[in-house]
Amino acid sequence: MRFLQNFRLTSMVKNLCALSVISILLFAGVVMAKDFWETKPFDQWSQKECQKMLADSPWAKELELVGRSVEMMASSAAATDSRAPYIKYTAQLRSATPVRQAVVRQMQIVNKYDSLPDDQKQAFNQNTESFLIGPSSEFVVVNIQYESNILDNSRDLNRYWETQTTDVLKNSVYLSGSKGVKVPLSQFVSGAGGSQEFQFFFPREVDGKEILQPGDKALQLEFAYPVIKYQGYDLGDGRAFIEFKADKIKINNELIY
C-alpha cells in the first residue's frame, strides 16, 4: 500500500512538473510572438525596425506594379537598378501613432540623438512633439510614397501627383471598412519639390459612426493612379486596393489607425 501511495505521489509530481514546463513554454511562446512595437519604447527601435514599420507592417503596405514581359525585362538596363521596370506605392496609416513614432525615430538615428547632450535632446523633442501628437483625431491620414526605377517614369509620376487637387480626386479616392460604406476623400495634400509623396485625409466618423465597425475585417483604401506606359506596355491597371487587417492594427486590443 505504501508503495502504491509513493507511486501515485511520484506520478502527481511528475505531472505537475510537466504542466509547469508546458506553461513556461506557452508563456515564452506568447512573449516571443510579440512584435517590437509592443515590447520596446519607440526611442529604442533600430533603423531596420523603423523601416519595417514604415514599409511592411500592419500599418504600412506596399503595392508594386512590375513589368514582366520579355521586352520589359530586357529593357531593365535603362533602370536605376538591375530589376525589371516597376512602380511602387507605399501606403502608411500616418494617423496611427506607431507610424509617426517610426518617422521620428528615424530622424533620431540620422541626427545621432542617443549621443546628443541633454539640451539638444530637449530641443529635438520640442521640434518633433507636435508631429508625435499627430493630426486631429477627426481624421484618418494615409501617407503615400511612390517610386520607380525608371527615371522618366519618376518624372511622369511627379508631374501627375504634384498637380492633383482634392476636387479632382474626391470622386476616385475612398476609405472603408470591409462591410461599410465608402468614405470619400476629405482633403488631398501633395508633396512638393520632388518629394514623391502625398497624403489623403478622410473623416474618421460618418453619421456618428467610425469607419471601422465591429465585424469589419479590414480597413480598405481605394484610389486611382496614372497608368504609366513603358516600352508600349502598361504598368498597372490604374486602380489600387490596399487593405489593413483590423485584427493586426491593434495594440493592447485597441484599434490604432
Residue 212 has pLDDT above 90, yes or no: yes
Lowest mean pLDDT: which of 83-87, 152-156, 194-198? 83-87
pLDDT of residue 77: 53
Task: Name the average pLDDT for the chain.
Answer: 85
pLDDT tens for each residue of 64-108: 998 665 455 445 556 777 778 899 999 999 999 999 999 999 999
**Set of cell numbers at residue 184:** 470619400
Whether the model pTM is above 0.95: no
Of all residues in the chain, the percent with pLDDT exceeding 90 is 67
Mean pLDDT of 107-132: 96
Interacting residues of 174 by C-beta distance below 8 A, sequence separation 6+ = 182, 183, 184, 185, 220, 221, 222, 223
Choice between 30 and 184, residue whose per-residue pLDDT is larger: 184
Choice between 77 and 206, residue whose per-residue pLDDT is larger: 206
Choice between 62 and 16, residue whose per-residue pLDDT is larger: 62
Residue 16 has pLDDT above 50, yes or no: no
Interacting residues of 165 by C-beta distance below 8 A, sequence separation 6+ = 188
Q: How far apart are CA 76 and CA 235, in angstroms?
A: 14
